[in-house]
Amino acid sequence: MRVGFIGTGSMGSILLESFMSTGALHPDQVICSNRTREKALRIAENYPGLCVASNNIQVVREAEVIFLCVKPLEFKKVFDEVGPYVKPNHLIISITSPILLADLEKQLPCSVAKIIPSITNSVQAGASLMMFGSRCSEEERQLLRELFSKISTPLEIDESNTRVSSDIVSCGPAFMSYLLQRFISAAVEETGISREQATFLASHMIVGLADLISKGPFDLETLQQRVVVPGGVTGAGLQALENIGDVFNQVFINTHRKYHTDLEEVAHMFYHENK
């Protein structure tokens, strides 16, 4: 099986490098292309055998399974270019949420899937979200589940939950690292601890917390109860956190608003441009 990647930006490169470094794919099995070819060539320097195609058409001609790792508004350009070369026996996967399975099935004559990865997959951790098109056979579904289980915990979701699930799995690392950064900055501002030391302590705390969650001795509520000694300092600190109000509701409201704008732009791109 040959696997292709169109787009080797942030997520395309994480995916193909994770598959190769875990041995899920051998570099000989991988062919990739990128608008700025030098970017793909730089990745290939570390993976002898990885083929950097001279264009997207070569990827489609030489691979059976193809990941589209470009941004939503770049899809039509890619489809216009490679569409005539896509065969019914291809399996094509989008990694971006506003491209709907129905759009993929309308634009392409083959099996399609949507898989939303996460930056956490670069260290073989975190979840990946899987959605399969109606033409996807059980063998194709199994192939994708097996591939992604090498770098993540794959979870099949209903496409109607794409946005909220992606917010948690895929945007979540950015949200949580932002909060951690604010936690560190406040420690520095309020106490004079050095940023370096606060970062070291906070990073080890969060890794320990993740381990605790993954090993599962406590649910989140029990974990808090075990740390908050009645009348103690943690409770005093938590009081301040209770004032965060609806900030997380606003996070989801904002992401969903942006998602709906993206969906409209994608629909316009596919069905109204050049008409």
Residues near ligand NAP (CB under 6 A) are: 6-12, 33-36, 39, 56, 69-72, 74, 77-78, 95-96, 116-117, 119, 170
Rounded Cα gap, residues 65 and 63, in angstroms: 6
Smallest distance from ligand NAP to CB 192, Å: 35
Q: Give which of 61, 74, 257, 100 is closest to 167, Cα–Cα.
A: 257
H/E element, 154: strand 153-156
Rounded Cα gap, residues 64 and 2, in angstroms: 6
Spatial CB neighbours of 34, under 8 Å, sequence gap ≥ 6: 6, 7, 8, 9, 12, 40
Rounded Cα gap, residues 237 and 242, in angstroms: 9
Smallest distance from ligand NAP to CB 126, Å: 11
Closer to ligand NAP by Cβ: residue 144 or 187: 144
Smallest distance from ligand NAP to CB 22, Å: 18
Smallest distance from ligand NAP to CB 118, Å: 6
Smallest distance from ligand NAP to CB 116, Å: 5
Our CA angle for 99, 94, 118, nearest 5°, is 105
**Which residue's CB atom is positioned nearest to ligand NAP?**
9
Closer to ligand NAP by Cβ: residue 92 or 187: 92
Closer to ligand NAP by Cβ: residue 12 or 133: 12
Closer to ligand NAP by Cβ: residue 35 or 218: 35
